[in-house]
Structure 1
Amino acid sequence: MLRCLVPLLLGSLCLQAQAKPQLTQEQRDALASDRFWLTLGHYQPARWGGWRSYVDDNAFFLASNGGESPAAELSATLDGLYASAALGNDHVQCRYPSRTRWLREQLNLKDLPTPNCSEYNEWYEDIAPHSTVLVFPDAYLNSPSSMFGHTLLRIDSPETAGSGTSLLTYALNFGAMVENMDNGVLYAWKGLAGGYPGQFSLLPYRDKISEYSRLENRDLWEYQLDLSPEETARMVEHVWELRQVRFDYYFFDENCSFRLLELLEVARPSLRLTDQFPLTAIPADTVRAVREAGLITEVNYRPARERELLARAAPLTADEARWVTRLAGDSAQLQSSTFAALPRERQALIQEAAYRLARYEASGKARDSADAANSYALLQAINRNPPPALNIETPTYPEFGHESRTWQLAAGSREDRAFAEYGLRMAYHDLADNLAGFPLGAQIELGDIRLRQYEGNHWQLEQLELVNIRSLTPRSALLKPWSWQVATGWERVAGENGNHRLVPHLNGGGGFAWQPWDSVLGYSLATLRLEHHRDFDAPLSAAAGFNLGLLWRNPLGSLLAEGRSDYFDNGEVRRSLALAQQWELSRNLGLRLQASREFSQFSAPQTEFALQLRWYHY
């Protein structure tokens, strides 16, 4: 029997070998260097020549050196295309439908085996890709992983495209795989250092809506993309090839936004989106790149639950806001004679605000029957006495804000010494920057370096801030959020004999912010600080203090007035007053006048003035 089988097997192998296209080395090299093939393999030029793939998972490659050799991966793929159809779902054609389609078209392959790819076919038919929507959940400062916002893709079927039934579609997401319950600080550090693998996932869009708009209180922007059904299908085919495949994940470059740009280049190979982000890929910048490529045809804005609540409560008086709080906690108050005495139109506003507050407070909690009954009673009252429609003004689109990197050029004087100052901030926004597209009271600065040149050609490093984050969220009659800040790096402070010492520091604090008018934000924070100062006896000194400030959005731009005080454990007291007015010359250009007065026991008070030109440029 064995003697009969061996010739048959050898004959079958010979027939397969004869069926494979016989390519010249020139043809093979041309295919392996084709941009679309390189895109399918996520290849980029290696630092010292050759290629390397962004994919950090050997299971993605058919060749042992496929991560470094597009040509070897091409040869292995061609071999696999002609494997026995009996392999079924494990066949190369089933595992790599995008590669298969492209090679079939390029080489006019008409004699391929026809394996039964049941798993892929069922998955693809369930998604039924027809059109693509880029979704941008706005920045959420209370989560370190969401400080810059996020991007994902929504895949619409022919039935859901443009029908208003987007909750029935699928969301394509790339994110870090967090297997442990890491706290926010550890999560941020590991995300910066590539401590998590990244992976694509495809899940119902309604789940992502709930996560971002409801649980994290993030506005959602939905950008309809000008991709044809064929282009969308090509992209989804490639997503199947990436299932369970791991990438390195870094917050600043190899992140959600960069990976999605790669997918868009698979959909439309003529795009050159990833080339624009050699160092960082901040989500708002990638949305801007998509717009500039002419891909956006329509924009839909979904306000977060918190924004809807505050908008509904905005016209209420203080007494009516107190009624909102009472009803949200106890719907039986609807039967109160005092509440019934209110005008019906005011009752309608109060009831809906109370319902929204009750649902807002229940977000992220386990279902509670008493809370559900309370919400249902409020909903019944709303149906009996509906309020007018809630109209929320659409804010400035995120991609229309200033760009993320900032070049700074300043001239000024400190006491009797004139100076010029040159700065670069890698990302991305401070309290006084051009405000359009950013929330009032939000600050995220990373990699802010300033070099100062005094008279006599004396140069010194004035500041190197690694991280400086502020989340100043105003309190209201209904919501009582905390405000907080954290910063670390090196900065100049007063020292002995009039020296201005460069010290490493770590400081943070928490407190409250309030917004008496739409254009004014005040804040008060208690702070703690650690620093290493060569003029202090201890190698590490601690201080407790406070920050007080006022941010005013005025016709010229933004004005920031701030006072700080630190009381060190060695008796040193350091105080400062600062004022900054930003003139918004254009979207990506600002002029800032700064003045400060510093007080220390080491020296007499020091006064500094500077005029700074700020150019926002990626």
Structure 2
Amino acid sequence: MLKRLLPLLLGGACAALQAAPQLPATRLHELAADPSWLALGHYQRDRLGGWRSHVDDDEFFLAERGERDPTAELAATLAALYQEPALADRHPQCRFPARTRWLRERLDLDDLPQPQCHEYAAWYADIAPHSTVLVFPAAYLNSPSSMFGHTLLRIDPPGIDTQGSPLLSYALNFGAYIEGSDNSILYAWKGLMGGYPGLFALLPYREKLAEYSRLENRDLWEYRLNLSAAETGRMVEHVWELRQIQFDYYFFDENCSYRLLELLEIARPGLELTDQFPLTAIPADTVRAVQQAGLVERTDYRPSREKELLARAEPLNGTELEWTQRLAEDSAALASPAFQALPAERRALVQDAAYRLIRYRKSGEERDEGSARDSYRLLQAINRNPPPRLAVERPVPPENGHESRTWQLALGSREDQSFAEYGLRMAYHDLADNLDGFPLGAQIEIAQLKLRRYEGNHWQLQQLDLANIRSLTPRSALLSPWSWQVGGGLERVIGKGRHDDEQLVGHLSGGAGVTWPLAEGLLGFALATARLEQNEDFAAFISPAAGFNAGLLWRNRLGNLGLETRADYFHNGEVRRELSLTQQWEIAANLGLRLAARREFSHMGAPASELSLQLRWYHY
């Protein structure tokens, strides 16, 4: 309370000289309901009525209940703008330049004091905001914070397209502030439950570029927005107001992408981008919303180091790939007569691939003498015998992929019983879904519910997945990534008794193994698995099992086909096996038809066969 009263007391000495205009209550309420003021305060309608700000920090508000009362906050701000100008950088005008500009324009405040805001002026001049680029680092399954991708804004100075470099720009990022070193499971749990504060950060773009395209091997998509210099400046003004201001941070709604949409609404009032995301804000969906709002002027693609390496290695034969690995381990082999006997154009490709392999392996590691020496020798060889320009095929942009939420309607039969099944998945892609905009072999499913109605009006909960994540990354001659999967929730399995007696069990499962590219668009995979299950048919409360999961994933003209077998061997003697076949027909970008068949075996009951045809509608 004292923190809020002190500036008012300090400004009281000049009250006789300058005082804020006394606005009628109706005018105050009218201004406080203006979308621009609500955006500056990050207000939204509370579910119980009234207003609530997303900002979770008392430092951001001047009124006692400013986080819930836009009118009181506006009145307090208006009064604070007339404080003693000698406060300089501590003056509310210096602290809140975006609020100041908006109130000055709306109320024609030509009698405001003129404090010297040296810190803000220097900061703003250093950034020199002129234009804005929305940057989308693509999804990266091996990082829990990046499974859905990420978005940030690049703030460019004037002349960036003609005489500058994006490396001189600034990156505007919103993310969870993490103290200490939480493990991946704790990080995911806190992120889901709002256990971390969220903060805005403005830092050199070259640092974020290195982090995403090199350290995490993620493709970058850059969307130049058609915001004017004035609109970009308005947004940056407000970013100054948010320095070290804490927000609640949630992975699925109040995340990096949602916060950046709020900033774009400040840059160009009336966009109403955040209204489209009342429940979740998946980064790819927010990019799509920005594009549909007509904000995108141009799209640029930056492949990751991994993509560049694989593209350079693609035309190499087996012998040349062996030379690539040998040179990456010891550049002295450049002088080998056997290597020099290769045609000059082939040596050029091998040398470049070897140099890229060293850079890939050393990403994020300390520079060491051996790799520095090998890199230097290879660069000299590349300079003497340069390869042709590398051309990486541009994939389908992520915003052109299917939307994240999926409604499902299926008709099928299990043994001699027909059923209808109704499903909803909150996010956002499985191995068989429409593939455009997604990598083959990647799956992230969050919060999936399936209800089944059998003949005789018998309803049952068939499945409730909290999460089901799979990363089937193919190995190559140069790269050997591990494939993995993890999942948990409720599902039906064969129970004791007749073949139609299914038991609802809780489970937590995972596995690791390898994936191989067998042909163009064809992957084979094999994983060792482990499972913990809570099953009322078992004597123990929790029963462990070991097993395997193997199969094929084929990208064909209709869509994706998956053939899969899995088995679980429980410590109590139960053995459960399953063979399944799935084919998706991609009718449209947001519409799919899926045929699924499976055969289940269990020591606890008779085998069961199931066949279904499912319509899938992808809709946010």
Alignment match, 2:523: 521
Shift of 1:22: 2.1
1:566 corresponds to which of 565, 568, 590 = 568
Q: Distance in 1 between matches of 2:173 and 2:581?
A: 43
Residue in 2 aligned with 1:605? Answer: 607
Query: 1:59 offset after TM fit, Å?
Result: 0.4
Query: Deviation per CA, 1:566-587, whole angstroms, max 9, x where unpaired?
Result: 1000011000000000000000
Does the Cα contact within 8 Å between 1:524 and 1:549 map onto a contact in 2?
yes
Is the 1:474–1:521 Cα contact (8 Å) retained in structure 2? yes
Tell me which of 521, 535, 538 is aligned to 1:536. 538
Taking the aligned partners of 2:113 and 2:386, their CA distance within structure 1 comes to: 63
Q: 1:576 aligns with which of 575, 578, 582?
A: 578
Q: Which moved more, 1:590-599 or 1:176-185?
A: 176-185
User: More deviation in 179-188 or 196-205?
Assistant: 179-188
In 2, distance between residues paired with 1:457 and 1:126? 68
- In 2: Cα distance, 1:269 partner to 1:410 partner: 43
Render the CA deviation track for 1:204-256: whole Å, top value 9, x for unaligned: 00000000000000000000001000000000000000001000000000000
TM-score (norm 2): 0.97
Unaligned runs of 5+ in 2: 1-10
Aligned match of 2:217: 217
Supply the AA of the counterpart residue of 2:502: H
Q: For 1:15-58, what per-residue CA distance to the aligned partner results, in whole angstroms no more than 9, with x for missing partners?
A: 223xx212111111111111100100000111211111000000
1:109-140 deviation per Cα after TM superposition (whole angstroms, max 9, x unaligned) = 11111111000000000000000000000000
Cα distance in 2 for partners of 1:317, 1:184 equals 39
Paired AA for residue 500 in structure 1: E
Deviation for aligned residue 1:13? 2.1
Q: Which residue of 1 aligns with 2:291?
A: 291
Within 2, Cα distance between the matches of 1:325 and 1:573? 44
Distance 1:16 1:583 in 2: 71
2:548 maps to 546
Q: State how far apart, in whole Å, the 2-side matches of 1:464 and 1:198 are.
A: 30
Q: Write the letter of the residue equivalent to 1:594.
A: A
Q: 4+ residue stretches of structure 1 with deviation over 6 A?
A: none
Q: Distance in 2 between matches of 1:243 and 1:108?
A: 28
Alignment of 1:180-579 (within 5 A): 180-498=180-498, 499-579=501-581
- Describe the SS at the equivalent of 2:409: strand
Contact map agreement 2:576 2:603 (CA 8 A) in 1: yes
- CA drift of 1:14 comes to 2.1
Change (3 A) 1:283 1:11: closer
1:163 Cα deviation from its structure 2 partner: 4.4
How far residue 182 of structure 1 moved from its aligned partner, in angstroms, is 1.0
Taking a change above 3 Å as real, the CA distance of residues 10 and 525 of structure 1, as seen in their structure-2 partners, is closer
Q: How many Å separate the matches in 2 of 1:492 and 1:222?
A: 44
- 1:389-440 deviation digits (Å, cap 9, x = unpaired): 1111110000000000000000010000010100000000000000000000
1:270-318 Cα distance to aligned partner (Å, 9 max, x none): 1010000000000000000000000001000000000000000011111
SS of 1:14's partner is coil
Distance in 2 between residues matched to 1:193 and 1:22, nearest whole Å: 43
Q: What's the CA shift for 1:88?
A: 0.5
Superposition RMSD in Å: 1.1
The answer on whether the counterparts of 1:130 and 1:161 sit within 8 Å (CA) in structure 2 is no
One-letter code of the match for 1:186? L
Aligned residue identity for 2:601? F
- Please list the CA deviations of residues 489-528 of structure 1 after superposition, one character each: whole Å capped at 9, or x if unmatched: 0000011112200000000000000112221011000000
d(CA) in 2 for partners of 1:517, 1:277: 40
* Cα shift at 1:63: 1.0
What SS does structure 2 have at the residue aligned with 1:479? coil
SS in 2 for 1:464: strand
Report the alpha carbon displacement of residue 260 of structure 1 after superposing the two structures with TM: 0.1
Deviates more, 1:209-218 or 1:22-31: 22-31
**Which residue identity lines up with residue 441 of structure 2 in the other structure?**
G
Do the aligned residues in 2 keep the contact of 1:472 with 1:513 (CA within 8 Å)?
Answer: yes
Q: 1: CA distance between counterparts of 2:386 and 2:586?
A: 43
* Equivalent residues, number: 609
Cα distance in 2, alignment partners of residues 60 and 281 from structure 1: 24
Which residue of structure 2 lines up, in the alignment, with residue 5 of structure 1?
none
Counterpart Cα distance in 2 of 1:391 and 1:11? 68
1:145 paired residue number:
145
Residue type of the alignment partner of 1:449:
L
**CA 1:10–1:289 in structure 2 vs 1: closer, same or farther (change >3 Å)?**
closer
**Equivalent residue, structure 2, for 1:67:** 67
* Aligned AA (1:412): G
Using the alignment, how far apart are the partners of 1:448 and 1:38 within structure 2? 35
Alignment-mate amino acid for residue 155 of structure 1: I
- Aligned-residue sequence identity (percent) comes to 68
**Could you tell me how far apart the structure 1 residues matched to 2:425 and 2:406 are?**
5
Distance between the aligned counterparts of 2:203 and 2:17, measured in 1? 43
